[in-house]
Structure 1
Amino acid sequence: MANPTDYRSIAGALQYLTFTSSYIAYIVQQACLHMHDPREPHANLLKRILCYLEGTIDHGLQLHQTSPTSLTAYIGTDWPSCPDTRKSTSGYVVFLGNNLISWSSKHQQTVSHSSAEAEYRVVVNAVAKSY
C-alpha cells in the first residue's frame, strides 16, 4: 500500500467500534493482524467491513423513553430438546418498560430431571443476568 497510515487509522477506529459491536470483533482482529505491513487485499477487507457497517446502520435495538419502567422477564424451556445429551434448550428475554435489554437462548449446561427443574434453571439464569 502507498500509505499504510490510513490503513492503521481505519483499523484502529474499527477496534474501538468492537466495544459496542462485538459481532465484528473477529473480522476486525483479522484485519489488525496486518497493520505492520498492509497490502491491497487487506485494504479491500477494511472496505468490505465498512460497507457492511454502512448497510446495517439502522439495525439494532432501539431504546425509547417509556413509562412505566418496570423490569419484566419472560422465560421458556424445551425439556429435553437434545436426544443425545438430554440437555434442555432454554431462553429468556428481559424488558425495561417496552425496551428489550437482554436475551439469551442456549443449551443448559446440566441435565434436568424434569421440565420443572429445567424451568427453574432458566429462571435462575435470567434473574442472575438481569441484575
Structure 2
Amino acid sequence: MSLLGSEFDMKDLGPSSYFLGIAVTRHAGGLFLSQCKYAEELIERSGMSACKTSPNLVDTKPKLSAQSATLYSNPHLYRNLTGALQYLTFTRPDISYVVQ
C-alpha cells in the first residue's frame, strides 16, 4: 500500500465489505463473494418484490406484439434495470438465458 501511495494519490479504506454490487464476507478459509443483496435491491427497485416465483424459466406464451404493445412509461428506469440485469449476468451465467 505504501508503494502504491507513493505513486498515486489514494487512501486505504480498510477491508472491503460491499463493492460494485458484490458483498465480501471474510472467514478462516478465505473470502465469500455474493451478489444476493444486489439482486434483492434490483428486484425491489423494479417493483417485483411481491411477485411469485415461476417453475418455468421462460414464459412459453408471449403476450407482446409489435402492433399491440404500449410504450414503457419510464424508459430511464427500463434502461437502468436492463443494464443492472446484464451486469448481474457477468458473474451469474446461470441466469443469462432468462435475462437476455
For normalisation by structure 1, the TM-score amounts to 0.23
Larger radius of gyration: 1
For normalisation by structure 2, the TM-score amounts to 0.28
Higher strand share: 1
